[in-house]
Amino acid sequence: MRKVAVVGAGMTLFRRRLQETGKELSFEATRMALDAAKMEIGDVDAVIHGTAPDAFDGVHMKGEYLLDGSGGRRKPYMRVFTGGGTGVFSTIAGYWHVASGLADVALVVNEEKMSSCQPHPQSVFAHIWDPILDRPLKPNLVWIFAMEMNRYMTVHGIPYEDIARVAVKNKRNAVGHPCAQLADPNITLEDVMNSELMAWPVRRLDISPPSDGAAAVVLASEDVVRKRKLRDQAAWIKGVGWCIDSTMWTDRDLFFPEYVNRAAKMAYKQAKITSPRKEIDFAEPYDPFDYKELHHLEGLGLADKGKAGLMTREGITERDGDFPVCPSGGLLGVGNPIAATLGLKVGELYWQLTGQAGKRQIPNEVHTGVTQAWGDLMQYGCVVVMGA
Amino acid sequence: MTDRIGRWPGAELGPKDLESGAVTTVRYRPEAKFAWSAGEAMSRFLAELQEGRLIARECKGCDRILFPPRMFCEECFRPTDTWVHVRDTGTIETYSISYLDTDARRIIEPILVGVVSIDGASPKMGIMHYFGGMTKDEIRIGMRVKAKWRRPEDRVGSVLDIEHFRPLREGER
Amino acid sequence: MKVGIVGVGITPFRPSTPEFSWKELMYDGAQRAYADAGIDPRTDVDSFITCAEDYYEGFGIFDEFTPDQLGAVLRPMHTVGGDGIQGLANAYMQIQSGLAEVVVVESHSKASDILTFNGIVAHGLDPIWNKPLGGHPNYIAGLEMDAFLRGSGNTAKDCAHIAAGNRQAALLNSAAAYGARVTPEQVTASPALWAPLRSLDASVPADGCVVLVLAGEKAAHKMEAPPVWIQGIGWASDSPSLETREWVSPQYARLAAAMAYRLAKVRAPAGAFDLAEVDDKFSYKELQHLEALGLAKRGQSGKMARRGDLDGNGRLPTNVSGGSLGCGNVLDASGLHRAAEAALQIRGDAGKHQVDGAKRAVVQSWRGLPTATGAVAILGASG
């Protein structure tokens, strides 16, 4: 199996509404990543694009529509789509393009333009439900998160305060992120716990916002890293894993994300990690809601079931803590343009591991990080372990 | 490198910029209409709902009663074996008290919604539905509930043939 | 390491399948493929891939609705927003990377669930430059046919020959939906709805599901059917913009073929294959693709067709499956279907439409309007 490294990354601002078209956003992120990797589009052998529901951008087969902005013209171009998991999954697809030997350099570009959808991107989520079982009940997307959060809290007896603390941590962490939409250096636990009740137990500040944005990473084989002398700016992909659970979410107990656990085990096995909490230095789990960070830390085997909340309470997951989690500020702090969260997950791992995270740089030395994304109907988990 | 980047791309727009014409926009509404064949399992499921009954499928391969019903078992990967009626009573597995409707508009009287596991099906097998006949302070995980059916003449073959699930009363089955 | 096709499942294509939900249709395709390969998806498969688009299915995130009916619950799985051969490429790369040994690739069409098919196709157009023009999206194929005929010297009559021939060939394919004894004269007499494209020059949607099982060399040799090896694979996209793409000679096909030929070490494609399955969602596309793949010289594909070179007993049997024109347009499953047909040919399992001595095939796909994306796979009995 060929070794593959991330050698450059880029991302646009994440904002509720950006003026740039989806093609322009894709181009900006791609150009930044290529510049960072000291390459031109002619150096790229294959392009992988990740983008979530077509209905946001309002174009059927939107992967095709975005390909020229993504550098895909007259190249092997592939779109992959795993709902919210796409933020990390496209990197996994990029990984096998290079690891297989079919490409020496692969460009992974993720884009989302939720603001195109009128009157509100929320309406797209009406179409993710089963047409016979769920849709007639006119469900709101927040309901399913609320149900999962309730189950998680009740089974383990987790106080809401422990969950709200994650939102405070991440929105404060995001102050160091140049692209952040919702950074807030002064946010308090009371702010979160008193914010508007949406669907109990979920409150407004527990949720990450819809955003526009794009991000890109450049993947290169070991030979390319050597020939182009990119070792100092390379972060190696050590393990990848992905897993999908049954469509029938009402037949599953939502308190533990089994699909994240299996994806993690697959990635850890490849990375030869047997004690993840000891052998990994920091994590960027997917945090579209604050409780998801805890839920996913447990799924990733980085905390015992029901115990992730203690880590936040004790300051362990702060940027200067023993095990930093979401040093980027996460989706909660920076924004959630679904697939473009690539920049906050794989991108953040890259910048931290190569010492390029600026104000967000974790003070302790970090050598190995894990990132994870989640998607579909409480169904999809994908995990990437990187090291430098 | 992130310190050396002076400009992070992106031009932010305000909430009114699209409507006010400050930014050139193009509008389009796609012609996107679908009618999904319900298929064998769901067609029978809906027909039974119209009759005021819940139906499941049994898989003899793993000895499970699958609800909602399906013609193939996803665990054994084999066709399921027989139709089995299940009860219209169950247990609340999880719920939410929602102050948002489907278009994210705020509502004053909350909607009580959640997952109810159905008696007679294998453990944890259930559906999402509304809860009623209880206040937001009374609802809890573990509550025993029963379907409140619409009148026969109002049923159309839909999950909405059940109005909601309400608390199971003392001595009821 | 060699990668081979070890299982094939094709549901009979039909204009509509009201008795099946899309899940039940996928289950049918999958159980056929798994029976053919002699595998249990719950234990023998490492990764599953679906090739699908949300707007063809009518869901916001179609990926949600895929695992159960393929046996993929709590297994590695993903959706490719691309055509079936692009899906095969992903499987090929997963196996070559060592991430998986056995991979399942699925794609289907449940076009009969789409009430506004042309509206969906039109929804793929550029929202600023093209959507405002309105109209039936087949006008794009009409424009391309016009440019191709002028640029290559092939004629509309050549295209009519293809439109008739593929529908007739489909009569020998029990899985085809639209086999018919249509003559070239009937094609030429059909209404020129998007002149020069006539209504019988266009394929019509059908429902169907295709599932292939791929395996790396070691695992392949343990399976029931003899493996059909993927000797080369390639895919490419030209500009999505109608205004700046190449109209006469499809670059996506040329580039995809170049990549596949390089991997398969094919230097002279014109004589290298026993049969070809190339996209024919519109009749002119078959000719366009044959030339772009180097299987016919520029301007000569029409003559080859009329000489009988492309017939089942000709020099290069092409689309003996019946193609999209004869089998039905199964959307992103089209390429996967042709790969399945080619695999059956190489195995000697193609029944009434078997090409004698078929040992090596070139399979090509196009994603359909309004894309300029396609892929090529080269399949052979030897590795």
Candidate from B32, B39, B40 with C-beta closest to C116: B32
Residue B19 lies in a domain: no
Region of poorest pLDDT, from A214-218, B60-64, C245-249: C245-249
Residue A270 in domain = yes
Task: State yes or no: cis peptide before A119, omega within 30 of 0.
Answer: yes
The answer as to whether B90 is a domain residue is: yes
Interchain CB contact of A122 with B (< 8 Å): yes
Neighbors of chain C with 3 or more C-beta pairs under 8 Å: A, B
**CA proximity to C235, closest of C340, C370, C332, C365:** C365
In one-letter notation, the amino acid at residue A246 is S
For A9-40, what is each residue's pLDDT tens digit?
Answer: 999 999 999 999 999 999 999 999 999 999 99
Averaged pLDDT, A227-246: 98
Q: CA-to-CA distance for C233 and C198, rounded, in angstroms?
A: 33
Q: Residue A38 domain-assigned? A: yes
Residue A192 lies in a domain: no
| Residue of C68, C118, C131 lying closest to B74 (CB–CB) | C68
Domain count, chain B: 1
The answer to whether the Cβ–Cβ distance between A258 and C235 falls below 8 Å is no
So what's the pLDDT on residue C294? 98
Give yes or no for residue C184 having a pLDDT over 90.
Answer: yes
B74 within a domain of the structure (yes/no): yes
List domains and CATH numbers for chain C: 3-115+206-220 (3.40.47.10), 128-204+232-380 (3.40.47.10)
Residue among C41, C112, C122 minimizing CB distance to B77: C41
Mean pLDDT, rounded, for A66-94: 97
Instruction: HSE, CB side, 13 Å, CA atoms: give it for residue A326.
Output: 34
Q: Kindly state whether residue A142 falls inside one of the protein's structural domains.
A: no
Copy the structure tokens of residue B49.
């709902």
Q: Residues of A with CB below 8 A from B67's CB? A: 251
What is the arithmetic mean of pLDDT over B4-8? 76
**CB within 8 Å: B28 and C17:** no
Do residues A349 and A386 make contact, with C-beta atoms less than 8 angstroms apart?
A: yes
CA distance B159 to chain A (A): 6
CA separation for the pair C69, C262 (Å, rounded): 37
Domain ranges, residue B140: 39-167
pLDDT of A122: 83
Judged by DSSP in three states, A174 sits in helix
CA nearest to A147, candidates C216, B113, B136, C187: B113
C212 vs C362: CA distance, rounded Å: 17
* CA A285 to mean position of chain CA atoms: 7
Give the mean pLDDT of chain B: 94
For the residues C174-185, what does the mean pLDDT come to?
Answer: 97
Which residues of A fall within a CB distance of 8 Å from B70? Answer: 248
Q: For the segment A119-155, what is each residue's pLDDT rounded down to a tens digit?
A: 888 888 889 999 999 999 999 999 999 999 999 999 9
Taking CB atoms and an 8 Å limit, are A253 and B99 in contact across chains? no
C115 touches chain B (CB under 8 A): yes
Q: In chain C, what residues touch B77 (CB-CB under 8 Å)?
A: 31, 34, 40-42, 71
Interface of A with C in 232-271 (CB under 8 A): 240-248, 258-259, 262-263, 266
Residue B158 inside a domain? The answer is yes
CATH number, position A52: 3.40.47.10
Touching check for A113 and chain C: CB below 8 Å? Answer: no
Q: Which residue in this structure is represented by tokens 């059927």? A: A60
**Cis peptide bond N-terminal to B15, omega within 30:** no
Q: Give the distance from residue C70's alpha carbon to the nearest chain A alpha carbon, in angstroms.
A: 11
Which residues face C103 on adjacent strands?
C47, C214
pLDDT at position A167 is 98
Residue C48: beta bridge partners? C77, C104
The confidence band for B173, taking pLDDT boundaries of 50, 70 and 90, is confident
What is the DSSP code (8-state) at residue A45? Answer: S
Q: Which of B8, B38, B136 sits opposite A12 (nearest CB)?
A: B8
Q: How is A229-253 classified by DSSP, letter by letter?
A: T-GGG-EEEEEEEEEE--S-GGGS-
What is the greatest pairwise CA distance in chain B?
A: 73
- What is this model's ipTM? 0.97
pLDDT of residue B3: 57
Q: What torsion, rounded to 10 degrees, do the Cα atoms A223, A228, A230, A236 define?
A: -20
How close A195 comes to chain B (CA, Å)? 13
| Distance, CA of C314 to chain centre | 21
The answer to whether A151 and A276 have CB atoms below 8 angstroms apart is: no
What per-residue confidence (pLDDT) applies to A124?
Answer: 87
Q: What is the pLDDT of residue B4?
A: 61
- Residue C350's pLDDT is 96
Q: What percent of chain A has pLDDT over 90?
A: 96
Q: Which of B141, B11, B148 minimizes the C-alpha distance to A254?
A: B141
Residue A159 to residue A33: CA distance in whole angstroms: 42
Q: Identify which of B28, B36, B74 has the shortest CB distance to residue C127.
A: B28
Q: What is the pLDDT of residue B102?
A: 73
The three-point CA angle C87-C92-C94 to 5° equals: 95
Q: Cα separation of C87 and C92, whole Å?
A: 9
Residue B173 in any domain: the answer is no
pTM (predicted TM-score)? 0.97
> Which residues touch C54 (CB under 8 Å, ≥6 apart)?
A53, A54, A55, A60, C60, C61, C62
Nearest in space to C378 (alpha carbons), one of C264, C278, C283: C264
- The closest CB to that of B160, out of A20, A136, A147, belongs to A136
Q: In a 3-state reduction of DSSP, which class is residue C19?
A: coil
- pLDDT tens for each residue of C284-322: 999 999 999 999 999 999 999 999 999 999 999 999 999
Q: What is the mean pLDDT of chain C?
A: 97
Under 8 Å between Cβ of B167 and B133: yes
Q: What percent of chain B has pLDDT over 70?
A: 98
Burial class (CB in 10 A: 0-12, 13-18, 19+), A300: buried
- Phi and psi, residue C76, nearest 5°: -70, 130
Q: Which residue has the higher pLDDT, C383 or A224?
A: A224
CB burial of A116-132 (b: ≥16 within 10 Å; e: otherwise) equals bbeeebbebbbbbbbbb
Which residues in B lie closer than 8 A to residue C17 (C-beta atoms)? 37
- Inspect the interface and report whether the beta carbons of B141 and A202 lie closer than 8 Å: no
Closest-approach residue (CA) in chain B for C73: B74
Residue A161 lies in a domain: no
Answer yes or no: do A132 and B114 touch at CB < 8 A.
no
Interface of B with A in 52-111 (CB under 8 A): 66-68, 70, 74, 93-104, 110
Chain C residue with the nearest C-alpha to that of A56: C60
Q: Among all chains, which residue has been given the structure tokens 């394929």?
A: C203
Report C:9-28 residues touching B (Cβ under 8 A): 17-24, 27
Q: Which two tokens stand for residue A224?
A: 């390319």
- Segment A341-367 shows an average pLDDT of 97
Residue C383 clears pLDDT 90, i.e. is over it: no
- Structural domain includes residue B4: no
Which residues form the domain of A310? Answer: 4-118+209-387
Q: Is A113 on the interface with B (CB under 8 A)?
A: no
Does residue B160 have a pLDDT over 90?
yes
More confident residue, C1 or C300: C300
Nearest to B73 by CA among A245, C69, C30: C69
Q: Is residue B157 part of a domain?
A: yes
- Residue indicated by tokens 């946001």: A56
CB contact under 8 A, C34 and B77: yes
Cβ-based contacts of A377 with chain C (< 8 Å): 61, 64
What would the mean pLDDT of A295-320 be, rounded to a whole number?
97
State mean pLDDT over A199-211. Answer: 96
Q: Do C22 and B75 touch (CB under 8 A)?
A: no
Residue B2 has a pLDDT of 56
- Render B79-105 in DSSP notation, one character per residue: E--EEEEE-SEEEEEEEEEEEE-TTS-
User: B171 CA to chain A: closest CA distance, Å?
Assistant: 27
Question: Above 90 in pLDDT, residue B94?
Answer: yes
How many domains, in total, are found in chain A? 1
pLDDT, position A297: 98
C238-248 burial code (b ≥16 CB/10 A, e <16): bbbbbeebbbb
B72 and C27 in contact by Cβ < 8 A? yes
